[in-house]
Structure 1
Amino acid sequence: MIAYVTVGADDIIRAKQFYSAFLPALGYELTQGAEGLSYALPVATGAQPVFPDFYVKPTFDGRPATAGNGAMVAFEASTQAQVRALHAAALGAGGTDEGQPGFRAAYGPRFYVSYLRDPQGNKLAIFSSNPDEPERDSESTAAHAALS
């Protein structure tokens, strides 16, 4: 099980604007301190933590943060509409587009995904695989997209 993921950021204020544009909609709560940003899913009293946590921190060695080539963090949304809304919110908060929301031929028929980069250049995906929604190859996919 992955317990947490950390990405580096040189500008914590800008990173907070970006990540706070969509992570709260996925249930993450923010704690901010001198060490950076910590996004975690809430834990009921007496319950075990729900992983993974997501941290945005200055680099430990003080050198500039860099995006990992080939590294990506994916966040699961509940619906295709939420993928579209969160992608737009992240772009509006300083992210850059790496792939508009939609189905990809290389993935399963229910994997609806968008890709973007945070202001530091870290690559992210927001996806939904909701079995109650249209899949890539169904006739209703085009109708669903037209209504959204």
Structure 2
Amino acid sequence: MIAYVTVGADDLAKAKRFYSAFLLALGYTLDEGPEGLSFALPVAPGQRPVYPDFYVKPPFDGAAASTGNGAMVAFEAGNQQQVRELHAAALDAGGTDEGQPGFRPNYGPQFYVSYLRDPQGNKIALFSSHPNEPGRDG
């Protein structure tokens, strides 16, 4: 099981604006400290986390943050409308479009997805594959 995902950022204020635009709507909480931003889903007392935490931090080696070629982090939304809303919110918060919300011919008929780049250039996907919503072929 994946415990956490970390992406690097040189400008934490820009990263906070971008990631808060959609992660808070997905139920994540934000803990901000000198080491960076920590987003996590709430955990009921006595329970273990189900989803990975997401961290945005300056690189530990002190060098500039860089993006991974082929690396991407995907977040699941509740439905197609939420994918559209969160994609727009992330763009308004400093992200850049890498693919408007919609179906892709190479994925399953229920997989509705949008792609973004955060202010540092990290690739982010927002998706829904809710079985009760219209599919690509319907």
TM-score range for the pair, normalised by the shorter chain length: over 0.9
The structure number with the bigger radius of gyration is: 1
Match of 2:88?
88
Percent identity over paired residues: 76
Match of 1:98?
98
Residue correspondences, number = 138
Equivalent position SS for 1:85: helix
User: What is the one-letter code of the residue matched to 2:83?
Assistant: V
Match of 2:116?
116
Equivalent position SS for 1:25: coil
What are the within-5 Å matches in structure 2 for residues 72-87 of structure 1? 72-87=72-87
Q: Distance in 2 between matches of 1:129 and 1:49?
A: 22
How far has the Cα of 1:45 moved from its partner?
Answer: 1.0
Cα RMSD (Å):
0.5
Q: Deviations over 1:86-143 (max 9, x none)?
A: 00000000000000000000000000000000000000000000001000001xxxxx
Match of 1:145?
none
Q: Deviations over 1:21-68 (max 9, x none)?
A: 000111110000010000000011111122210000000000000011
User: What is the one-letter code of the residue matched to 1:3?
Assistant: A
Equivalent position SS for 2:85: helix
What are the within-5 Å matches in structure 2 for residues 29-48 of structure 1? 29-48=29-48
Q: Distance in 2 between matches of 1:97 and 1:9?
A: 18
TM-score under structure 2 normalisation?
Answer: 0.99
Which structure 1 residue ranges, 4+ long, deviate > 3 Å from structure 2? Answer: none
Structure 2: runs of 5+ lacking an equivalent:
none
